[in-house]
């Protein structure tokens, strides 16, 4: 059985993973575009979206490792898209176009049921209404010996941390303050939950921090 991990999860210096007011024009919320800017500058990201260029180095290495050895993903409804409440139809299939970068089953936490969505490249979105433990059980059933990656957003990562279900948390701390939005650490006492920092590496545009459950 693989680990349950969060990898290359971008946060600001004040702990925000997204700003307020997420919509089609602001996938990370208003005023929060700089939080994942380090990733967009990497060669790995440019390759992923089919464009040339991009920087190599520590940030690129972190981005590449974050996508390796994954047998299933779990994400929240907000990470899947900006639509709230009951699904108006089944037209929305994610931010990523016909071939999302996951290439494995993805379990989307939601309060509103929806049939699975099969995409190009092996990505299949499954919509889970029974909560975080049900999503994890379904992910384990398909991941085999590979890892399960908790993709986000902040609320989903917080829930899994609070339940002590994450084995490893790798953060990419961007050198910006946001001031408001979705704070990853709101209501969490990580030392009390048994988590500790074990590594910190400076990248070109972010600091990469590894946190483990002891």
Return the C-alpha torsion angle 195, 12, 70, 73, nearest 10.
Answer: 100
Return the sign of the alpha-carbon dihedral for residues 135, 136, 139, 140: negative
CATH code of the domain occupying 4-15+32-82+100-213: 3.40.430.10
The pLDDT profile of the chain, 214 residues, written as one tens digit per residue, is 899 999 999 999 999 999 998 888 888 999 999 999 999 999 999 998 889 999 999 999 999 999 999 999 999 999 999 999 999 999 999 999 999 999 999 999 999 999 999 999 999 999 999 999 999 999 999 999 999 999 999 999 999 999 999 999 999 999 999 999 999 999 999 999 999 999 999 999 999 999 999 8
Integer Cα distance of 122 and 39 in angstroms: 23
């Amino acid at each position: 059985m693989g680990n349950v991990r969060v990898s290359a999860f971008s946060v600001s210096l004040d702990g925000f993973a997204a700003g307020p007011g997420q919509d089609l024009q602001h996938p990370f919320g208003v005023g929060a575009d700089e939080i994942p800017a380090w990733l967009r500058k990497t060669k790995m990201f440019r390759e992923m979206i089919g464009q040339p260029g991009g920087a190599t180095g520590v940030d690129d290495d972190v981005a590449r490792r974050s996508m390796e050895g994954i047998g299933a993903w779990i994400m929240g409804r907000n990470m899947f898209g900006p639509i709230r409440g009951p699904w108006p139809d089944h037209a929305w299939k994610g931010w990523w176009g016909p071939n999302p970068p996951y290439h494995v089953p993805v379990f989307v936490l939601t309060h509103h049921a929806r049939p699975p969505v099969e995409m190009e490249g092996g990505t299949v979105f499954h919509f889970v209404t029974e909560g975080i433990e049900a999503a994890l059980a379904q992910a384990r059933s398909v991941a085999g010996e590979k890892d399960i990656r908790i993709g986000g957003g902040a609320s989903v990562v917080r829930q899994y941390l609070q339940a002590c279900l994450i084995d490893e948390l790798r953060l990419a701390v961007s050198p910006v303050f946001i001031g408001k939005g979705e704070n990853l650490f709101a209501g969490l006492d990580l030392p009390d939950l048994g988590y500790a920092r074990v590594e910190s590496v400076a990248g070109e545009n972010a600091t990469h921090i590894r946190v483990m459950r002891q």
